Amino acid sequence: MLYIADLHIHSRYSRACSPQLTLANIEATCRLKGVDIIATGDFTHPTWFKEINNELEEISSGAGLYKLKKALDAKVKFILSTELSLVYKDAGQVRRIHLVVHAPNLSAAAKINKYLDKNFNIRSDGRPILGISAPELVKLVLRVDSRFLIYPAHIWTPWFSVFGSKSGFDSLEECFHDQTEHIYAFETGLSSDPTMNWRVSSLDRLSMLSNSDAHSLPNIAREANVMEIAGEPTYQKIYDNLKKRRGLKMTIEFYPEEGMYHLDGHRDCSFDCEPSLTKKYKNICPVCKKPLVIGVLNRVEDLADRKPGFHPKNAVPYKKIVELDKIIAEALGIKSRNSFTVQKQYHALIKEFGSELFILLDLDLNKLSSTVDHRIIEGIKRMRAGELIIKPGFDGQYGQINIFSEREQTH
């Protein structure tokens, strides 16, 4: 059976995250969006971990996946997850990388939390900052339980990632040293897509994951993974799928140009450019004469050993989406996706036709024609065809995706 899994989100205890990120709200949002397996996020935060223990229960004995106790069914399953921010020195350079960690069960999570709480500050942020190296962290969690999953988050982001231009490495081996063999997956991040990652042959041995890293409810499943699991889903089956590079049938992708670090540039100078221009400017902003923030596209070009367009044998396919409420807002000429009118239409569509991801990816749009505004139908058609107007993001500023031109929006 196929399951849609978003394996990296945050709770309301992480900085810059919505107070609406409660377990009940996360579960309800997953039902709307069509997500079957969702990360808890932030299990290292003591208060959030207490809520996880109080509000969730295992779907079956030893499954390692959990459901809301008050839910009538186990349609939405939680997998224990957290994101750790490591800041340390390696090879004479300060490294700042983020890792996603999945625990096989509550007992294992409690053990790692006890150690971290004794040695680091894990109470001030759901994504704690640890002064420990990546290899040391891998050794630590695997000593607690060999079934912990650890993999690099948003691997290309300039400031906090394994391959980041500001504080990262040029290879996984440089980062994880003798623990590289225990890394089975990586997360592409919002600013890159599979085609960009296929250009780096050293990533071929790993499972390529796309997760939302959601800091608010609407952003859940803006990226996700479609995974085949035989029988009842369990943590062990997910672990085995990722370790053995099997079971992943498709990834659901954010348009990478919409990511905050796709191009090079300077947000304060309102300047952005493609990698070819960056080289021309010798990495210096032509406006302020300071170093540019080198984005994901450029960094991929740096480390790539394959030409653009390379397609590995047996590569997992993908589809790009724009979230349904964004499509509705633009189609109706409304600025905010959170407006009453947009949300009313969003919920009406889901009530009548199914989950958001089903509507975006699989629904026969002919079924919409008699009841839904034609502009919304056209918006979904254009999204599926990739017929969009895109202004890429850079230096921490999200890109802009438009479905309709300015002329169309004024007529």
Integer angstrom CA distances of residue 145 from 48, 93, 107, 221, 323: 21, 31, 10, 29, 37
Tokens for 227, please give them: 């995974």
CA atoms of 334 and 318, how far apart (whole Å): 29
Q: What are phi and psi of 33, to 5 degrees?
A: -85, -20
Tokens for 179, please give them: 């623990």
Pairing state between β 81-90 and 129-130: parallel
CA atoms of 401 and 390, how far apart (whole Å): 5
Q: Any idea of the CA torsion for 364, 370, 376, 378, to the nearest 10 degrees?
A: 60
Neighbour tally for 148: CB within 10 Å: 21
- Beta carbons within 8 Å of 407's beta carbon, 6+ residues apart: none
Q: What pLDDT score does 111 carry?
A: 98
Q: Tell me the pLDDT of the chain (411 aa) as tens digits.
A: 999 999 999 999 999 999 999 999 999 999 999 999 999 999 999 999 999 999 999 999 999 999 999 999 999 999 999 999 999 999 999 999 999 999 999 999 999 999 999 999 999 999 999 999 999 999 999 999 999 999 999 999 999 999 999 999 999 999 999 999 999 999 999 999 999 999 999 999 999 999 999 999 999 999 999 999 999 999 999 999 999 999 999 999 999 999 999 999 999 999 999 999 999 999 999 999 999 999 999 999 999 999 999 999 999 999 999 999 999 999 999 999 999 999 999 999 999 999 999 999 999 999 887 789 999 999 999 999 999 999 999 999 999 999 998 777 655
* Terminal alpha carbon distance of the chain: 45
Q: What pLDDT score does 253 carry?
A: 97
Q: Taking CA 166 as the corner, what is the angle to CA 163 and CA 168, rounded to the nearest 5 degrees?
A: 30
Integer angstrom CA distances of residue 222 from 1, 150, 153, 190, 316: 22, 22, 15, 9, 18
- Which helix (H) or strand (E) segment holds residue 192: the answer is none
Q: Residue 284 carries which DSSP code? A: B
Compute and round to an integer the Cα radius of gyration of the chain: 21
Sheet holding 129-130, edge to edge: 129-130, 81-90, 93-102, 149-152
CA atoms of 54 and 385, how far apart (whole Å): 45
Please compute, for residue 4, the number of CA atoms within 13 A of its CA located in the half-sphere on the CB side.
23
Q: What pLDDT score does 411 carry?
A: 56
User: Strands (DSSP E) along 297-346, which ranges?
Assistant: 318-321
Which residues, listed in sequence order, are joined to residue 151 by a DSSP beta bridge?
Answer: 100
CATH level 2 (architecture), domain 2-257: Alpha-Beta Barrel (3.20)
Least Cα distance to 91 among 213, 186, 175 occurs for: 175
Domain chopping of the chain, boundaries: 2-257, 323-387
Integer angstrom CA distances of residue 47 from 21, 44, 137: 13, 9, 22
DSSP 3-state assignment of 408? helix
Q: What are phi and psi of 150, to 5 degrees?
A: -130, 130
Q: What pLDDT score does 13 carry?
A: 98
CA atoms of 217 and 9, how far apart (whole Å): 9
Do 27 and 9 contact (CB within 8 A), yes or no?
no
